[in-house]
Amino acid sequence: MTKTVVRPYGDTTGDGMVQLSFTLPVPHDKRAEGAALQLAAKMGMEPAMLVHARQMGDGYTFFVVYGRVNHVVDLGKVNVVERDFPLLTAKDVNTVVKRRLRRKLSVVGACIGTDAHTVGIDAILNVKGIAGEKGLEYYRELKVTNLGAQVTVPELVEAARVEKADAVLVSQVVTQRDAHLTNTREMSAAFREAFPAARRPLLVVGGPRFDETMAGELGVDRIFGRGTTPREVASYLVSALVPAGAAG
């Protein structure tokens, strides 16, 4: 039986040790250090050791605190999106699409809103890919249209229609004022309005600050967080779009 309750690990099982750094808007003195320890205590660190304090400018102090937390985590109650599809190689993806779909799978990608950071969508779509893994453009049986940055939602809907998109991939890096959430909701609503449910392309969003469990709330089919690779996205597209067991 595996243990489901765990504590942070410093150098001994069960010691509960964590490190924490933060800034308080006060000059560095005895009282500031006491305030830092008070915050640590309120966060469940007991006892806490103040190991570093340094004043920055006139009225701010940076602290590093080490200490034992009294919280435990129950692994049985952790809620995450586990990968619920098999991870395929590029070759397998191509074979499945070719045998079962019998046409190229059309993917349209873009950064929407004012977000000009194409690094995410490019990592997934460009041949160059990321971390040694080639992007979706490299997959022979995928037809990829990368619209680039600052694409409006109507432009994206139109491109999806023209390209007969099976899937639409949207990347959002900028998160100021929750722009990534607002933009995603706007996008999913527009697709629901423009396409009948049966013909709506699969909607996939990705970005470093998304919560992967929010897909339903944002009206999309899947959210990919930081560290996602092109291969995971391709495997997901195949599992979601190409009916299993049709052939091959």
Partner 1 sequence: MTRARELAAIAGRPVVELARAHTTVSVERAVLRLAGVSGADPDGIPWVNRLVDAVAADVGLSHGVAVPVFDALAREGLDDLTLLAQKAAAGSVRFAVPEKSRTARAAARKHVRAGLRRIDRRRAERERLVRRHGDPSQRPWIYLIVATGDIYEDIPQAQAAARAGADVIAVIRSTGQSLLDYVPEGATREGFAGTYATQENFRLMRAALDETSAQVGRYVRLTNYASGLCMPEMAVLAGLERLDMMLNDSMYGILFRDINPVRTFVDQRFSRQVHARAGIIINTGEDNYLTTADAVDEAHTVTVSQLLNEFFAHEAGLADWQLGLGHAFEINPDVPESFRLELAHALLARELFPDAPLKWMPPTRHMTGDVFRGNLLDGFFNLAGALTGQGILLVGMMTEAVVTPWLSDRDIALQNVRYVLGAAGNLHEDFAPAPGGFIQRRAHEVLGSAVSLLERIDSSPGGLLAAIADGTFGIMKRPADRGKGLDGVHPHADDYYNPATEILEDRG
**Concatenated DSSP letters for 104-118?**
PEEEEEEEBTT---T
66 binds partner 1 (CB under 8 A): no
Residue with tokens 């089919």: 221
- Name the minimum Å distance from CB 182 to partner 1: 11
Nearest one of 183, 238, 236 to 209, comparing CA atoms = 183
With b for 16 or more beta-carbon neighbours within 10 A and e for fewer, the 184-208 pattern comes to: beebbebbeebeeeeebbbbbbbbb
Nearer to partner 1, 98 or 117 (CB): 117
CB of 152 or CB of 239, closer to partner 1: 152
127 binds partner 1 (CB under 8 A): yes
Q: Which stretch binds partner 1 (CB under 8 A): 55-63, 81-89, 161-169, 240-248?
A: 55-63
Per DSSP, 155 falls in state H
In the complex with partner 1, the residue whose CB is nearer, 38 or 182, is 182
Among 148, 158, 162, 164, binds partner 1 (CB under 8 A): 148
User: Looking at 30, 128, 134, 164, which residue is catalytic?
Assistant: 128
Residue 128 annotated as catalytic: yes
Structure tokens at 68: 């034992």
**Cα separation of 154 and 235, whole Å?**
28
Binding site for partner 1 (CB under 8 A): 21-23, 54, 56-57, 60, 62, 114-119, 122, 126-128, 148-150, 174, 176-177, 179, 208, 226
